[in-house]
């Protein structure tokens, strides 16, 4: 079969249950997130009371099985939640996204019965998690990491630093990747479940970012941080597999974030052009404006279908490395174009903080960078095409 075709259908129609769930999250976003956006942006932190509501609504454990305290939902439901939140605030959305796709998922998938019982219940009720793979000198070359794990008495000692860790300031639990067998290269990489109060482990400074400013992004430092043997997630040397599989699902979440941001910007632009008058009539009546809106809406819908299709395929048990990369790549590119166009439709007002589109525009940029840059997505797609 040609890599350009597929026999798997694009099952993007939503069920009644999914629509009801999406609408419930959207209602929470408008009622509770929207009034806090400006203050959270200024404070550079998510309001803890809002995070508490995410836990109470089950949004921090959507895909976790109900027998360990989760909602027993699907990747599609995670996608819908992240999209709905991102239409209002991408920073709030990424807190939910990382929790579900990068923290809960690998613990549920690879954790021992003890780890699942110990951590999933907390991650669905009161503990924020973070995923620690990137390092100051290891970004796209994720498996060139220098953080080391060496055997100690009854456990492991971790040494090194991590960078760009989303949720780092608030997290009580971290999934940390370190090389336990450097001589084996990437096959020595091992995943560890590390509690915040681990001796020798400290959370570093918070980054001052262009966008998603309320979402914390921090460094992490390990100085002979001791973790017991039962902190190993999966088997020693299988961390590279866990990292790849987790990021493949995470890219669906980033795609959802991007379509949510773009939709929020487009919603604001449509409302504005109906009110803004020039030459005696609303600018929405000018064909040039109409065509720009139509182009943006078409690109947005195409991205949404790609993201939803990747989520459906993941829920059906398929390998979605190819579809996930395509969805993240296109959704992030689309989001940059659409939010930029929306800023322009506001004219000079779009360049001020009086209106929401400048924030959507700033928040859009991160989509082409984190959880794999656009160039890395292109590489993944090309490998499939040329195999």
**Tokens (6 digits) for 110:** 């690879």
Residue closest to 326 by CA, chosen among 342, 302, 293 = 302
CB 125 within 8 A of CB 133: no
CB 337 within 8 A of CB 358: no
CB 129 within 8 A of CB 103: yes
Residue closest to 98 by CA, chosen among 137, 51, 66 = 51
Whether 299 sits among the annotated catalytic residues: the reply is no
**Tokens (6 digits) for 98:** 């990382």
Other C-beta atoms closer than 10 Å to the C-beta of 111 total: 20
In angstroms, the Cα distances linking 136 to 141, 145, 164, 254, 363 are: 11, 9, 8, 22, 22
Catalytic residue among 135, 170, 249, 371: 371
**How far from each other are the two terminal CA atoms of the chain, in whole angstroms?**
12
Alpha helices in the chain (DSSP H): 16-28, 37-43, 48-56, 75-86, 90-98, 105-110, 113-115, 121-123, 239-275, 287-315, 321-345, 357-364, 374-386
Task: Tell me the catalytic residues.
Answer: 371
């Amino acid at each position: 079969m040609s890599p350009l075709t597929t026999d798997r259908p694009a099952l993007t129609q939503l069920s009644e249950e999914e629509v009801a769930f999406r609408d419930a999250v959207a209602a929470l976003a408008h009622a509770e997130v929207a009034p806090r956006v400006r203050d959270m942006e200024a404070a550079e932190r998510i309001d803890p009371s809002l995070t508490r509501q995410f836990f109470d609504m089950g949004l921090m454990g959507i895909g976790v099985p109900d027998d360990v305290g989760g909602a027993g939902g699907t990747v599609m439901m995670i996608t819908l939640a992240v999209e709905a939140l991102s239409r209002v605030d991408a920073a709030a959305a990424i807190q939910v996204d990382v929790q579900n796709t990068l923290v809960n998922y690998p613990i549920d998938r690879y954790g021992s019965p003890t780890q699942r019982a110990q951590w999933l219940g907390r991650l669905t009720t009161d503990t924020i998690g973070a995923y620690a793979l990137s390092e100051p000198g290891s970004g796209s070359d994720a498996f060139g990491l220098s953080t080391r794990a060496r055997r100690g008495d009854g456990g492991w000692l971790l040494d090194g630093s991590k960078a760009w860790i989303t949720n780092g300031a608030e997290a009580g639990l971290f999934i940390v990747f370190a090389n336990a067998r450097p001589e084996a290269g990437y096959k020595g990489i091992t995943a560890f479940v590390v509690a915040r109060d681990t001796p020798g482990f400290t959370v570093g400074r918070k980054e001052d970012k262009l966008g998603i400013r309320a979402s914390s992004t921090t460094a992490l430092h390990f100085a002979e941080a001791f973790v017991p043997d039962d902190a190993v997630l999966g088997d020693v040397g299988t961390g590279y597999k866990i990292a790849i599989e987790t990021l493949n699902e995470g890219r669906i979440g980033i795609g959802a974030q991007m379509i949510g941001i773009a939709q929020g910007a487009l919603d604001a632009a449509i409302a504005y052009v109906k009110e803004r008058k020039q030459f005696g009539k609303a600018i929405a009546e000018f064909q040039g404006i109409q065509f720009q809106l139509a182009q943006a809406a078409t690109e947005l819908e195409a991205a949404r279908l790609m993201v939803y299709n990747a989520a459906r395929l993941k829920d059906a048990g398929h390998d979605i490395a190819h579809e996930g990369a395509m969805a993240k790549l296109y959704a992030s590119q689309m989001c940059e174009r659409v939010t930029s166009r929306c800023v322009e439709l506001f004219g000079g007002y779009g360049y001020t903080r009086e209106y929401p589109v400048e924030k959507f525009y700033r928040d859009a940029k991160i989509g082409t960078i984190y959880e794999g840059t656009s160039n890395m997505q292109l590489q993944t797609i090309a490998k499939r095409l040329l195999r």
